[in-house]
Amino acid sequence: MTKHELFVNKDSSQKKLLLFMWLEEPHQITEQAVERSMEDGSFQDSKEFANAKYGGCFFVTGNIDKGGDDMVVSIRNMNREGGNSMMHTYPIASIGGPVSECYKNKADTIFAPGCPTGPFLQGLVDDAYQMLAIHTPHNECRSILFKPTPGEAPCTRRKIGVEMLPDSMDESKVNFDSSVSESGGVPEVPIPHGTESISVRLIVSRRKGVDVAVGAQLIADSPCAASR
């Protein structure tokens, strides 16, 4: 949360000290939106509403708009049936108004160096992310949004298959990776160019005599990430 001198009128002639708020890890809201739709049965495969070549994809929209006096940055899970509503639109940043919806204000806040909102939105536009969603027979879902590295050219669709391994790994044998990259953005997972499929192994913890899944290990040529 920071305060900025921002333009408050359309002709950019007046400024006022306004509050800017943002989420440090906006990708987690995306994960939660997908998890909720899978658990409540509203999730739709993209082949039901998009071109056939985009079957099996997660669609997320980003929006910057005025809501009353405030300027709000929000995302929406398009794979949710009936999800085009305020109830299923999630704010990830906002500027308390009255504020002008001008480029200068956006550049000084949403797209300012050090703010995670701008790079996150750019990654969505560039199709730079992959999402792994694991949905159990007990109707529990956990998802991981990540950026494969090295990256592709912007808007290059990279399809990576997944093989679920039958064995699991004890939590005590794993060092979990950070939920953000070194730059503070979406976590990065090294997956070489040309990799068509990765393997996934559940990470479990023994609780009251029962193995409970607490994360997942991603494996390309070798283990490349462990996420909670």
CA distance 214 to 174: 11
89/140 same-domain check: no
43/113 same-domain check: yes
Two structure tokens written together for 174 = 């794993």
**Could you report the per-residue pLDDT of 132-146, keeping only the tens digit for each?**
988 888 788 888 999
140/112 same-domain check: no
- Give the per-residue pLDDT at 67: 79
Overall average pLDDT of the 173-197 stretch: 85
Residue among 169, 180, 184 at smallest CA distance from 216: 169
Which of the listed residues 57, 92, 125 is the one where a domain comes to its end?
125
Looking at the predicted structure, is the pLDDT value of residue 210 above 80?
no
Q: How far is CA 195 from the centre of its chain?
A: 22
Question: Is this structure's pTM higher than 0.85?
Answer: yes
Which of the listed residues 105, 125, 145 is the one where a domain comes to its end?
125
- Give the per-residue pLDDT at 112: 94
147/193 same-domain check: yes
92/109 same-domain check: yes
71/159 same-domain check: no
Q: How many domains does the chain have?
A: 2
6/114 same-domain check: yes
The pair phi, psi for residue 79, each rounded to 5°, is -80, 5
142/74 same-domain check: no
Overall average pLDDT of the 156-173 stretch: 87
Cβ atoms 181, 190 nearer than 8 A = no
114/140 same-domain check: no
Domain range enclosing 108: 2-125
Residue among 108, 122, 121 at smallest CA distance from 20: 108
**Could you report the per-residue pLDDT of 99-143, keeping only the tens digit for each?**
999 999 999 999 999 999 999 999 999 999 999 988 888 788 888
Least confident of 1-15, 56-70, 138-152, 212-226: 212-226
Looking at the predicted structure, is the pLDDT value of residue 184 above 80?
no
CA distance 147 to 90: 21
19/87 same-domain check: yes
Confidence of residue 175 (pLDDT cuts 50, 70, 90): confident
105/42 same-domain check: yes
